[in-house]
Amino acid sequence: MNYADIQRLYQLPLFELLKQSRAVHEAHWPEREVQLCTLLSIKTGGCSEDCGYCAQSARYTTGVVAEKLMAKDAVMEKARAAKANGSTRFCMGAAWKGVREGTEKFEQVLDIVRDVSTLGMEVCVTLGELGSGEAVKLKQAGVTAYNHNIDTSPEHYPNVVTTHTFDDRLRTIRHAQDAGMSVCCGGILGLGEGVEDRLRMLEVLSSFNPQPESVPINMLMPIKGTPMEENAQVDVFDLVRLVAIARIAMPRTKVRLSAGRYSLSREGQALCYYAGANSIFYGEKLLTTVNPRANEDLALLRELGLVPQSPNPAQAAPIADGAKPLTPCCAS
């Protein structure tokens, strides 16, 4: 969807926007289902990158202590618990700039993925930059989705991160898609961006071919010690509008309420579900920060008449539309 159309949606009276997003949601999704995804940080802290929002960058003193890659048995224990608690997706995050074939750490990750993929959940990893070879290996090991966010607009990105570029992010996304993985790609609200950056971010995401299988919408968790610790909180109606526009611009994409849900009221979350959000990170910890308690999330879903999605591990990655250009991957 182009910028002008997205902007027109943004300018609609809120209830008119919600009417449209609800109609798109009802036409494409089982109305009551919400996917529960569990996150696990398998390698925490000590990251070389300078992402201005991140607790795990080694450039800032945030109180996060750098740890080694978790052992496979410990990861499997968490993955089994996630499944037992009703999650249908297990997402493993690592605080790395990226991974390279032939390194010990990459082989260890592949080994972990092979085992986790036997449990019958969707397997998502977020490991930073990938080349085409790494993407193929991850797919073969059993990864169903790769999470790599564009985080904001291309114009605002250099104000947030200087150690890699927006084009680097696009390149990794293309490698993941070319290898046949689904792509989970979204962003963060609250990075000091303007409305136009938020809408540009949705324009870029919706221009992907294929569109992302899922779009996480994070609100900044302000981390003490980072350059963004004092950023203003995101307004709930801005979040709801963004969710609604994402639903309309990417009808078949799961829209995942991500970081920042801890500070959203139950009513705020209900509006997001109504607007088209159909997935959440579930469990009381994200990577390093807090998330609502599982029993509170389940209680809210019950109260709203929503139900956790049933497992669907065989889900195929979205297919590109042959008549359109593929996800942009920049010059080189």
- CA 231, 232, 236 angle in degrees (round to 5)? 135
Pick the piece of the chain touching ligand SAM (CB under 6 A) from 52-60, 106-114, 239-247, 304-312: 52-60
Query: Catalytic one among 169, 171, 174, 184?
Result: 184
H or E, element range at 91: strand 89-94
57 binds, among ligand SF4, ligand SAM, ligand DTB, none (CB under 5 to 8 A by kind): ligand SF4
Give whole-number Cα distances, 63 to 44, 242, 265, 294, in Å.
12, 32, 27, 25
Write out the two tokens for 25. 């949601």
Residue 220's binding partner out of ligand DTB, ligand SF4, ligand SAM, none, with CB under 5 to 8 Å set by partner kind: ligand SAM
Active site residue 124: yes
CA distance 91 to 213: 14
Measured CA distances, 119 to 62, 294, 298, 316 (Å): 35, 21, 22, 17
- Look at the alpha carbons of 253, 258, 262, 263 in this order and tell me if their dihedral is positive or negative: negative
Closest approach, Cβ 119 to ligand DTB, in A, equals 19
Largest Cα span, the chain = 54
Catalytic residue among 37, 89, 91, 174: 91
Asked if 259 touches ligand SAM (CB under 6 A), the answer is yes
Choose between 25 and 175: whose C-beta lies nearer to ligand SAM.
175
CA-wise closest residue to 94 among 138, 169, 43: 43
Identify what 20 binds: ligand SF4, ligand SAM, ligand DTB, none; CB under 5 to 8 Å per kind.
none
Exactly one of 188, 205, 240, 264 binds ligand SAM (CB under 6 A); that residue is: 188
Please count the other Cβ atoms lying within 10 Å of the Cβ belonging to residue 65: 9
Q: Does the annotation count 241 as an active-site position? A: no
Q: How far apart are CA 62 and CA 55, in angstroms?
A: 6
Q: Which stretch binds ligand SAM (CB under 6 A): 10-18, 30-38, 146-154, 310-318?
A: 146-154
Catalytic-residue membership of 47: yes
Of the pair 18, 202, the CB lying nearest ligand DTB is at: 202
SS3 127: coil
Query: Site residues for ligand SAM, window 93-112 (CB under 6 A)?
Result: 93, 95-96
Q: Is 185 a catalytic residue?
A: no
329 in catalytic set: no
Tell me if residue 256 is catalytic: yes
Q: How many residues bind ligand SAM (CB under 6 A)?
A: 19
Q: Is 272 considered catalytic here?
A: no
Q: Which of 119, 34, 117 is nearest to 84 (CA)?
A: 119
Does the footprint of ligand SAM cover residue 126 (CB under 6 A)? yes
Contacts to ligand DTB by CB under 6 A: 39, 55, 91, 93, 126, 147, 149, 186, 216, 218, 221, 258-259, 286-289
**Residues with catalytic annotation?**
47, 51, 54, 91, 124, 184, 256
